């Protein structure tokens, strides 16, 4: 069940669907009206991920299309993505942004606001976010859960701490800053458990709204299985992968290659 994702964005002729699924949200153990379908496919010799977050009660619809830098069996990372923020009931597009990773330079961001009639509100805002070192490739996170494995893998590759460039959604009421680039320091710590042959790898992921105790579990290929996040004293979120079809190893990141972690019962 993809909540109309393929109907809104049918695959072009010649494209090959590799995997699809959905992330199910709960708050304090109760289901909420937040749906996050995704699909991974190949087209024109390139690999793509398309995902959406539909939050009906908040009247929010986020759409992301991302391109990867290499075939999936090589542990690819996101090198380009576009993200759009809509109102769900009217499908009105409010803001769109495009992020492109420039190797050894940083991230080029092009952001655009739209009027109620769909016309461009102003000239696109173009910005270059420079990386601290010419030898490093910027790490980006396109907001949605299907991309968590990629960002965790990237943080681990930097020794467990790294700067991540993220579109801003902290204050959606401030449309002038919505989806603009934020620089965020993130850390990922593997949790102790069984040996590297375990099928589940668990991490404590921290940074900004994610405080210590935000537990994320993945399969070996980097596909997020579930996570728990304490937003406040009154709100604890649980997100779980459901309705997986196709290849469970489709992201091919191999989180077991650089650490010894294992099963984490408290995160499941």
Residue 87 has pLDDT above 90, yes or no: yes
The per-residue b/e assignment along 73-105, b for 16 or more CB within 10 angstroms, e otherwise, is eebbbbbbbbbbbbebeeebbbbbbbbbbeeee
pLDDT band at 266 (very low <50, low <70, confident <90, very high): very low
CA-to-CA distance for 68 and 62, rounded, in angstroms? 19
Q: Decide if 110 contacts 124 (C-beta within 8 A).
A: yes
- As given in the structure block, the two tokens for residue 193 are 């458990």
Which of 14-18, 20-24, 123-127 is modeled with the greatest confidence?
20-24
Mean pLDDT, residues 88-109 taken together: 93
Predicted confidence (pLDDT) at residue 26 exceeds the cutoff of 70: yes
167-215 pLDDT, tens digit each? 999 889 899 999 999 999 999 988 865 345 667 888 888 888 777 678 8
pLDDT at 261 > cutoff 60: no
State residue 251's pLDDT score. Answer: 81
pLDDT at 222: 87
**pLDDT higher for 69 or 151?**
151
Phi, psi of 4 (to 5 degrees): 85, 10
Inform me whether the pLDDT recorded for 262 exceeds 70: no
Assign 43 a pLDDT band (cuts: 50, 70, 90): very high
Q: Is 3 within the bounds of a domain?
A: no
Our count of domains for the chain comes to 1
Range of the domain at 113: 20-267
**pLDDT tens figures, 207-238:** 887 776 788 899 888 899 999 888 888 889 99
Question: Picking from 89-98, 99-108, 250-259, which range would have the lowest pLDDT averaged per residue?
Answer: 250-259
126 located within any domain? yes
Q: Which two tokens stand for residue 110?
A: 């092009």
DSSP run (H or E) holding 30: strand 30-43
Query: Does the residue 7 lie in any domain?
Result: no
Half-sphere exposure (Cβ direction) of 160: Cα atoms closer than 13 Å: 8
Q: Give the residue among 130, 183, 188 at the shortest CA–CA distance from 159.
A: 188
Give the range with max mean pLDDT: 123-132, 155-164, 197-206.
155-164
pLDDT for the residue 72: 64
Cα dihedral value 170, 238, 211, 38, nearest 10? -60
Comparing 168 with 120, the larger pLDDT belongs to: 168
Residue 72 lies in a domain: yes
pLDDT at position 1 over 80: no
Residue with the larger pLDDT of the pair 126 and 262: 126
Residue 12, in any domain of the structure: no
Note whether residue 5 is domain-resident: no
pLDDT tens per residue, range 60-81? 999 999 999 876 655 678 999 9
Per-residue confidence band for 260, with pLDDT thresholds at 50, 70 and 90: very low
3-state helix, strand, coil in the chain (%, to 5): 10, 50, 40
Domain annotation covers residue 8: no
Is residue 9, in this structure, part of any structural domain at all?
A: no
Q: In the prediction, which pLDDT does 143 show?
A: 96
């Amino acid at each position: 069940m993809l909540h109309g994702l393929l109907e809104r964005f049918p695959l072009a002729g010649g494209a090959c669907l590799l995997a699809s699924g959905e992330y199910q949200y709960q708050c304090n153990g109760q289901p909420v009206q937040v749906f996050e379908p995704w699909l991974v496919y190949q087209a024109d010799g390139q690999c793509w991920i398309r995902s959406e977050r539909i939050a009906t009660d908040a009247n929010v619809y986020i759409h992301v299309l991302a391109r990867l830098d290499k075939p999936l069996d090589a542990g690819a990372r996101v090198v380009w993505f576009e993200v759009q923020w809509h109102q769900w009931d009217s499908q009105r597009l409010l803001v769109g942004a495009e992020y492109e990773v420039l190797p050894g330079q940083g991230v080029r961001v092009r952001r655009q606001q739209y009027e109620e009639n769909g016309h461009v509100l102003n000239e696109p805002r173009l910005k270059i976010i420079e990386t601290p070192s010419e030898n490093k490739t910027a790490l980006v996170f396109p907001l949605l859960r299907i991309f968590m494995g990629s960002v965790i893998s990237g943080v681990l590759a930097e020794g467990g701490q790294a700067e991540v460039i993220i579109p801003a959604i902290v204050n959606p009421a401030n449309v002038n800053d919505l989806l603009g680039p934020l620089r965020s320091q993130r850390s990922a710590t593997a949790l102790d458990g069984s040996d590297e042959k375990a099928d589940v790898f668990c991490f404590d992921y921290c940074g900004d709204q994610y405080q210590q105790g935000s537990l994320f579990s993945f399969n070996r290929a980097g596909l997020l299985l579930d996570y728990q996040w304490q937003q406040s004293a009154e709100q604890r979120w649980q997100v779980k992968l459901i309705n997986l079809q196709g290849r469970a190893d489709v992201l091919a990141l191999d989180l077991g290659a650089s650490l010894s972690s294992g099963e984490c019962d408290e995160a499941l």
